[in-house]
Amino acid sequence: MPDDSALNPLEDAAETRRRKLRSAKRDDTGFSVEALPNLSTQQVKWIAARAGSSTMEAANDMTSTSSADVLEWFNDPDFVALYQEMMENKREGFKQLATQVLPNVLTTLLSVMQHGEKDADRVKAATLLLRNQGLLVDKVTTTDPDAIKALLDEIRKPRPVYKTLANPKDRDAQG
């Protein structure tokens, strides 16, 4: 099992893919809308587990993955790129992982909507699906533009400037 600092066999290819991940077109929420690396579900699970664990072995245990499989994955530049992104910048790495699993999430939600045992489960799945697609929006509050203008006008008003003297002797001399 390689340690985290010794993952250089495909460094150039992985770095090229990382640059591609970082420069991908993104939607308003920051998620990529371009083609992503083709990783298996097990690889995605392992990277997510590794991000939350202190060692690679712990991630192996959490995902029931063999060390041999992980070593094999480190020969895949797409895997290495996403792994390194997650380990160096968890926020960006999370976005990439989330984008990888979205099709599975949507499939699961659709399945629960159609076959859920409880009405509440079906409703919750439908709600999540609609919210995900931007078709269900919680109440949006807006601020009155006139109130904003009045506040800005108040801020821009000239104010008197008072000079304070740090040394009390200076105050006595002026007084």
What's the pLDDT at 68?
A: 94
Residue segments in the chain with a per-residue pLDDT below the cut of 70: 1-37, 132-133, 165, 168-175
pLDDT for res 85: 85
Structure confidence by residue, pLDDT tens digits, 14-23: 666 666 666 6
Res 5: pLDDT: 47
Q: What angle do CA 45, 98, 110 make, to 5 degrees?
A: 95
> What is the full DSSP assignment across 91-113?
HHHHHHHHHHHHHHHHHHHHHHH
pTM: 0.50
Locate tokens 């904003």: which residue? 148
Q: Which two tokens stand for residue 16?
A: 């090229």
Task: State the pLDDT at residue 94.
Answer: 82
- pLDDT for the residue numbered 6: 47
Q: Where are the domains of the chain?
A: 11-100
Give the model's pLDDT for residue 11. 65
134-143 burial, b at 16+ Cβ within 10 Å, e below that, comes to: eeeeeeeeee
